[in-house]
Amino acid sequence: MSSTEKTQNLEQYLRSNGAYINPNITVVEDSASGVHLRAHSRLEAESSIISVPHTLCLSYLNALVDDAWPVFKEHRHRFKVEAIGFWYLAAQYLHRETSFWRPYLDSLPSPESEHTQPLFFEDTEDVAWLEGTDVWHTHLGRTEVHRGYYDEGIAILREAGVDVTGFTW
């Protein structure tokens, strides 16, 4: 477990933009847990560990005030709230070289990593193990919801004249 340039950049970014990180805490990274917080010593009960201002939250609300991406504000009534959050994250990630959130984005698993989430299985063998279970039905439902967000979002972005090349695969 160590502090890397990535974690140092993230910690500096957080602190310089109004976040509080307890002095006994460091942002670290290892292969098992990825980027996370680690205490140097025992913390007192009721200690504050981290506090992040809303301005650092990559969210629906920030998407609506970002002049670089007016499509989200202009078409906010056509997107589902959570879908704007997903699309805004994707837009920031796609343009992370110039994104305000780059230190945070750089700390996330890349799309090329083998990081998966439990309710969006892509591996056919994994899905086969789930078939007929409650998790399988949840997976099917969540896949349908996310497919709808994707299809609707691509259509809205295209209609608004946004180049969707980086959002498609």
Same domain for 67 and 46:
no
Return the pLDDT at 72: 96
Same domain for 129 and 76:
yes
Return the pLDDT at 125: 79
Note the pTM of the prediction, 2 decimals. Answer: 0.81
Same domain for 45 and 21:
yes
Same domain for 99 and 35:
no
Return the pLDDT at 114: 64
Same domain for 37 and 70:
no
Top pLDDT among 63 and 3 is at: 63
- Average confidence (pLDDT) over 130-137: 85
pLDDT in tens, 87-126: 999 999 999 999 999 999 998 887 777 655 554 566 777 7
- The answer, yes or no, to whether residue 133 has pLDDT greater than 70, is yes
- Average confidence (pLDDT) over 41-54: 92
Rounded CA-CA distance 34/28 in Å is 8
Same domain for 131 and 75:
yes
Return the pLDDT at 121: 64
Same domain for 14 and 82:
no
Same domain for 46 and 10:
yes
Same domain for 72 and 149:
yes
Looking at the structure of the chain, the number of domains it has is 2
Same domain for 27 and 107:
no
Top pLDDT among 119 and 130 is at: 130
Same domain for 81 and 47:
no
Same domain for 124 and 46:
no
Q: Which domain holds residue 45?
A: 5-51
Q: Using H for helix, E for strand and C for coil, what is the string for the chain?
A: CECCHHHHHHHHHHHHCCCEECCCEEEEEECCCEEEEEECCCCCCCCCCEECCHHHCCCHHHHHHCCCCHHHHHCCCCCCHHHHHHHHHHHHHHCCCCCCCHHHHHHCCCCCCCCCCCCCCCCHHHHHHHCCCHHHHHHHHHHHHHHHHHHHHHHHHHHCCCCCHHHCC
